[in-house]
């Protein structure tokens, strides 16, 4: 079981992207390519009803002004698969810095970070830090930061259109299909609260690939609401995730300093 968790070191990747880094995707023999925004008719890209649903969700979380004023986040969460749990901690700053540490039971701790210039990954096998590119760092950040995805549903995607009403665990939900290039998600919003209730990763034919059900939202007072409990339904397994805390604007820039060996190597190159 530890091996499965180790191979899923970025187990929440499928929460934020269409690519699951921790599981094998289901492949069709000849999948159709997903249309880009430029290929969609204008009424799909500019669906006012869909825009209103996305805006209501953002307002229920705290509003655009509060969202846009966030300078940093600090979160802690646990993932459970088959009775075995792993924890991760994530720090982010608006300038692009982030640091994630994930504890792998029986193996140690994985660390991935980026200070805005230098990216690195420290694996559990030998503890050594290896450099990663800025593009790789951004992919890791998007993979781990599910809370950011939920905060930015209104501006993450270029196309949005309404779908028929559906239910999630007997809760009536407004449904919005969003896409951006090859990324395509079906978002289901609780009609009573306006908050997103489920996120489904679908293909070009809207066939379900993976599903994330938001089971609860945190009630702690603060500038912005955040997701507490998730159920992550994959083709061959179901994970649960629980955020114990998410705080805002309390992370210093110095938190993202690269490992000393990488900093020395960077200075040697400059000199």
Task: Pick the range with the lowest mean pLDDT from 19-28, 52-61, 139-148, 191-200.
Answer: 19-28
Q: What pLDDT, in 10s, does the model give residues 115-139?
A: 988 999 988 677 789 999 999 998 8
Read off the pLDDT of each residue in 206-222 and give the average, rounded to a whole number.
90
Residue pair 98/141 in contact (Cβ under 8 Å)? The answer is: yes
**Please, which pLDDT band fits residue 30 given cuts at 50, 70 and 90?**
very low
Instruction: Point out which residues pair with 162 in neighbouring strands.
Output: 176
Q: How many CB atoms lie within 10 A of CB 250?
A: 10
Is the pLDDT reported for residue 154 higher than 90? yes
From the list 252, 224, 231, 271, the residue with the least C-alpha distance to 63 is 224
| Three-state DSSP class for residue 36 | coil
What kind of architecture, by CATH, is found in domain 2-6+34-250?
Answer: Clam (2.50)
pLDDT, position 195: 98
Compute the mean pLDDT over every residue in the chain, rounded to the nearest whole number: 80
Task: Taking the CA atoms of 108, 234, 155 and 147 in sequence, report the sign of the dihedral they define.
Answer: negative
Q: Whole-angstrom Cα distance, residue 66 to residue 185?
A: 25
**Please, which pLDDT band fits residue 5 given cuts at 50, 70 and 90?**
very low
- What is the DSSP secondary structure assignment for residue 140, as one 8-state letter? H
Most confident of 105-109, 237-241, 244-248, 259-263: 244-248
Is the pLDDT reported for residue 35 higher than 60? no
pLDDT, position 251: 93
| Three-state DSSP class for residue 32 | coil
Q: What pLDDT, in 10s, does the model give residues 46-103?
A: 589 999 999 999 999 999 999 999 999 999 999 998 888 889 999 999 888 999 998 8
Q: What pLDDT, in 10s, does the model give residues 170-188?
A: 999 999 999 888 788 999 9
């Amino acid at each position: 079981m530890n091996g499965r968790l180790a191979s899923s070191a970025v187990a929440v990747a499928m929460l934020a992207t269409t690519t699951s880094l921790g599981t094998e995707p289901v492949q069709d023999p000849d999948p159709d390519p997903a249309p880009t925004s430029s290929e969609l008719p204008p009424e799909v890209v500019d669906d006012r009803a869909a825009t209103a649903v996305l805006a209501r969700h953002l307002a229920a979380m705290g509003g655009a002004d509060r969202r846009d004023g966030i300078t940093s986040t600090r979160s802690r969460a646990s993932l459970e698969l088959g009775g075995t749990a792993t924890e991760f901690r994530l720090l982010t700053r608006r300038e692009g810095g982030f640091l994630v540490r994930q504890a792998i039971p029986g193996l140690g701790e994985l660390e991935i970070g980026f200070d805005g210039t230098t990216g690195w990954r420290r694996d559990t096998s030998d503890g050594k830090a290896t450099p990663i590119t800025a593009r790789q760092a951004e992919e890791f950040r998007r993979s781990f930061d599910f809370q950011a995805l939920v905060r930015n549903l209104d501006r993450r995607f270029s196309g949005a259109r309404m779908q028929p009403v559906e239910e999630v665990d007997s809760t009536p939900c407004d449904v919005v299909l969003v896409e951006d290039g090859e990324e395509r998600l079906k978002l289901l919003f609780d009609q009573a609260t306006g908050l997103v209730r489920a996120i489904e990763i679908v293909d070009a034919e809207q066939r379900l690939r993976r599903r994330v059900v938001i089971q609860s939202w945190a009630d702690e007072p603060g500038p912005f609401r955040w997701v507490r409990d998730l159920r992550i339904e994959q083709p061959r397994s179901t994970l649960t995730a629980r955020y114990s805390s998410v705080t805002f604007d309390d992370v210093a820039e110095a938190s993202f300093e690269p490992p000393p060996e990488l900093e020395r190597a960077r200075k040697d190159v400059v000199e």
